[in-house]
Every structure is written in C-alpha cells, then in structure tokens.
C-alpha cells in the first residue's frame, strides 16, 4: 500500500506524542494503580506488615505506620492529598508547617536552593539507583543536575518542629542519636546518591547545610470544616470550622458516611469556631 507524505507526517506526530506521554509521567507515584508496579515492583507494598529494606536487609514491620505515626505523629497530609490514593512522590496537601512535597520532602532536596523548584528534587534518589545498577530512572531522567551534598538538609529535616518531634533532622545521621534510624535500620538515607552513607560521606565532615527553600505552607485563606475523632479508625461528625489554613477542605464524616481508617488518625481532635 502506498503511503503519502501526509500519512508519514501523521505517523511521526503520533510517535512523538506517545513518547512524550511516557516521558512526562515517569514514576510519579509509589505504584501506578496501588499494585506491584513502579517503586512497589522492587520495594514491595508500602503498607505490608513485613517490609524488609533492600539496602541493609533489616525488617521495618509496617513501613506506612512507621512513617505516619512514628515520624510524622499522624500528620497524613504530609504525604496525602484530599484522597487516600493516589499518593504522589512529590506533591501532597502538606503537613503542619511542611511544604507540600510528599516523599521528596525527606528523600530529596531542591537542587537549586533559594530558587523556585525545578521539579528535580529526586535527583539524589535517582543517582542512588543508577549507582546501584538500577537503570530504570535514567530512561526519563537523563538530564538530572548534580544532587545536593549529603549534608544539605531536605525540606522536612528542619528543627525544632513540635508538630513532628520524632522526624529525622540530620541527613548525616550522626551517633549517638542516629536520627535517621527507625525500626530495625542500621544505616540512614543516601541523600546524594553516591552509595556512601551517614558520617562516612565526606560531605558530613562539616555541619549540616540548611536549604533556604522552606516556606510556610498554610496561609490564611478560608475557613474549613474539621472533624472530632475519639479513636483511631472511628467515625466522627463535623464540630465547627477551623480558620487556620488548609488550602483545600478536609473530607467530613457523618454517621452514614464514615471516614476511611487510613486517614482516621492524626487529625485535629477539635475545632475552634470562626466568625
């Protein structure tokens, strides 16, 4: 069958469109559809009860619970949006005083401190995978900048933080406190991706460098509904309006519409009426 110049042009445009669609999305979530794809294909179910680290082989138990309860004191909005799923790697509602950066708030850093985000906060995480022989990321991220040094604080590592007193605070993970150790872990994160961990990293010979990119995430906008909860996983009823700052409303509960257990803990226990 003879093809025309128009046919060939249309085919070329379609190929570019398909390639662009694949590239743009990359690994935007831990798993594609809450299944064994993307990060979960290698690292396993984030909510499983028997997570084992691929780095040091140590058991963590339920990785989800350690993040939401131990590290984040039940502040689900740190990683979640308005709905439980999907969970994005680099966007969320933002927890109390935390940028809306989800996973890369700890597992990444702005490669251009003080400048608007370039969307490449995960450069160190991807460098870690590449140096460990995992080439999946480079398919879409071949132009990553040099990751920030190990001693540069990720966005969520600032202190003091009374809302999240047990979160990590030092990417060099110094003894004797080892602030990146949780559950059974014996090493911390490799934030710059060079496969050299904690105080063994040459960058950790100097004090941690704060990133000047953290800005308040909650600005007075509009009053929103909040929920009283009496126990983890229970239902509640709207009790008033909280005027201090979520960008988007929290879902409300009622006797006929219970809230999901995954979001049941960590919400504020009461509201103060607003005018």
Residue ranges covered by each domain of the chain: 25-217, 219-275
Separation between Cα atoms, residue 97 and residue 216, nearest integer Å = 6
What are the pLDDT digits (tens) for 22-33?
333 468 999 888
Q: What does the chain come to in residues?
A: 275
Tokens at 165, concatenated? 């007193």
Angle at 99 between CA 197 and CA 186, to 5 degrees: 20
- For 129-163, letters b (16+ CB in 10 Å) and e give bbeeeeebbeeebeebeebbbbbbbbbbbbeebee
Which phi and psi (to 5°) does residue 217 adopt?
Answer: -95, -10
CB atoms within 10 A of CB 10: 12
Among 32, 193, 28, which Cα is nearest to 111's? 193
- Residue-wise pLDDT tens digits, 7-20: 544 444 444 344 44
Q: How far are the Cα atoms of 1, 124, 180, 192 from residue 128, in angstroms, in the given order?
A: 50, 6, 17, 7
The number of beta carbons lying within 10 Å of the beta carbon of residue 43 is 15
- What is the pTM assigned to this prediction? 0.68
| CB 258 within 8 Å of CB 231 | no
Half-sphere exposure of 237 (CA within 13 A, CB side): 3
pLDDT tens string for the chain (275 positions)?
444 554 544 444 444 344 443 333 468 999 888 889 999 999 999 999 999 999 889 999 999 999 999 999 999 999 999 988 899 999 999 999 999 999 999 999 988 877 766 678 999 999 999 999 998 888 888 888 899 999 999 999 999 999 999 999 999 999 999 999 999 899 999 999 999 999 999 999 877 666 544 444 443 333 333 333 333 333 333 333 322 333 333 334 334 434 333 333 333 333 333 33
Distance CA 215, CA 62 (A): 31
CA distance 104 to 113: 14
């Amino acid at each position: 069958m003879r093809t025309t110049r128009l046919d060939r042009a249309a085919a070329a445009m379609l190929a570019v469109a398909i390639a662009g669609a694949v590239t743009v999305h990359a690994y935007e979530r831990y798993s594609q559809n809450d299944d064994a794809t993307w990060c979960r294909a290698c690292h396993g179910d984030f909510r499983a009860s028997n997570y084992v680290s691929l780095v040091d082989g140590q058991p963590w138990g339920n990785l989800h619970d350690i993040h939401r309860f131990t590290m984040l004191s039940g502040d689900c909005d740190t990683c979640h949006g308005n709905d439980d799923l999907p969970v994005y790697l680099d966007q969320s509602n933002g927890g109390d005083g935390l940028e809306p950066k989800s996973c890369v708030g700890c597992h990444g850093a702005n490669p251009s401190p003080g400048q608007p985000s370039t969307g490449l906060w995960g450069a160190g995480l991807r460098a870690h995978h590449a140096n460990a022989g995992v080439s999946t990321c480079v398919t879409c991220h071949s132009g990553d900048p040099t990751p920030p040094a190990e001693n540069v604080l990720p966005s969520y590592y600032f202190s003091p933080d009374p809302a999240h007193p047990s979160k990590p605070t030092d990417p060099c993970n110094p003894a004797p406190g080892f602030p990146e150790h949780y559950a059974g872990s014996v090493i911390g994160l490799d934030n710059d991706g060079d496969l050299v961990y904690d105080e063994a990293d040459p960058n950790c010979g100097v004090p941690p460098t704060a990133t000047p990119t953290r800005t308040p995430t909650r600005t007075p906008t509009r009053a929103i509904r909040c929920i009283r909860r009496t126990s983890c996983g229970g239902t509640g009823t709207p009790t008033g309006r909280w005027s201090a700052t979520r960008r988007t409303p929290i879902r409300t509960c009622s006797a006929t519409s219970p809230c999901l257990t995954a979001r049941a803990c960590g919400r504020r226990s009461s509201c103060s009426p607003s005018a």
